[in-house]
Structure 1
Amino acid sequence: MKILRGCAIAAAVPVLLLGGLFALEACTGPSGELTAQEVAGVWKGSGGGRVEFDGDGTFTMSGIPQSAIEFSFIDPPPGKGNLSGRGEWNLRGDDDRSGTIELSFAAAGSFSDDSASTLLQVEETGDRPKLYFDTDPDKGYGYTIRREAGEPLRIR
């Protein structure tokens, strides 16, 4: 009996460790990644927010709530309404796939100069992936945008 109990314990330990790893990954949030081709297209959020990523690495956006964006190294544009703008986007980190998209704004729309940038994170992958502006570390997700279904890829 002691041998069987020892074998059962030895078999249970790896199963418990593996289960703990899966639970830990679920707590840390999504780890999905997208390719540039999967990002290219029109993405929409609630309240009329819209971001269009072109395959040439440029983007245009409109109707994004100012509270949705946390800016790097500058003060946000004045006002509390919705933002519009354009600029360049790229996958952060790995050139082929990433869970983070960096937006670098040009001096246009709501932006008076080209010093603003922000990040979008991948929340979901699949047929209609979802991105979010990560603005509040206590909240998990910020303003989300979803890729429009059936939207053709725009590669130039």
Structure 2
Amino acid sequence: MTAVFLLGMGGCFAALTERPEKIERTRIAGTWTGDGGARVVLRADGRFEMSGIPRSAVHFAFSDPPSGDGRLSGSGTWEPAHDGDKVDDITLYIAAGGSFTDTQVGSLGVAEGGQDPVLYFSTDIDKWYGFEIRKTRT
């Protein structure tokens, strides 16, 4: 069974009034980190791993959430939604395993696409912000 969930609501960009620019597709792969040790690794081959995502930042739409209030981990594949070379959303296809008993689908949006890009776990299609992760410079 496939269930859909949305992650987010950690930090937010309450002061922003419009959705920011997109990010170049070539800049997505890499390690992204957030508050409290949250980490998402988006690999160039379309695979990803995530760990330390706050349980309190997750809203599950069609399935029961994992028990407890700790942190979530998982892995799977990712796919960008793009217009040419620019990406505004990334779909996460999370495989069963880690903190997830069923296959899940999540989404990362682009909050900032400039020099220091920021992604966020989206929580509501009517809002374009959520729990933030920033790309780690190498």
Tell me if structure 2 keeps the 8 A contact 1:72–1:117: no
Q: Which moves more between the two structures, 92-101 or 116-125?
A: 92-101
Structure 1 or 2: larger helix share?
1
Deviation at 1:80, TM superposition (A): 1.7
Alignment partner of 1:120 is 2:108 = yes
Deviations 1:98-147 (A, max 9, x none): 21111110111001122x11111101112220011122578763210000
Give the Cα separation in 2 of the matches to 1:81 and 1:142.
Answer: 18
- Greater radius of gyration (CA): 1
Q: Give 2:75's aligned amino acid.
A: R
Question: Is there any run of 5+ residues in structure 2 with no aligned partner, and where?
Answer: 1-15
Identical-pair percentage? 46
Tell me if structure 2 keeps the 8 A contact 1:87–1:105: yes
User: 1:68 corresponds to which residue?
Assistant: 57
Alignment partner of 1:148 is 2:121 = no
Tell me if structure 2 keeps the 8 A contact 1:71–1:117: no
Tell me if structure 2 keeps the 8 A contact 1:121–1:132: yes
- Number of residue pairs matched by the alignment: 123
Q: Pick the aligned partner of 2:78 from 89, 96, 105.
A: 89
Partner SS, residue 27 of structure 2: helix
User: 1:132 corresponds to which residue?
Assistant: 120
Give the Cα separation in 2 of the matches to 1:143 and 1:68.
Answer: 7
Give TM-score, length-normalised by structure 1: 0.69
Deviations 1:23-53 (A, max 9, x none): xxx62231x2123321100000010000000
Alignment partner of 1:27 is 2:27 = no
Q: Pick the aligned partner of 1:77 from 66, 75, 80.
A: 66
Q: Pick the aligned partner of 1:105 from 94, 110, 115.
A: 94
Give TM-score, length-normalised by structure 2: 0.77
User: 1:58 corresponds to which residue?
Assistant: 47
Q: Give 1:130's aligned amino acid.
A: V
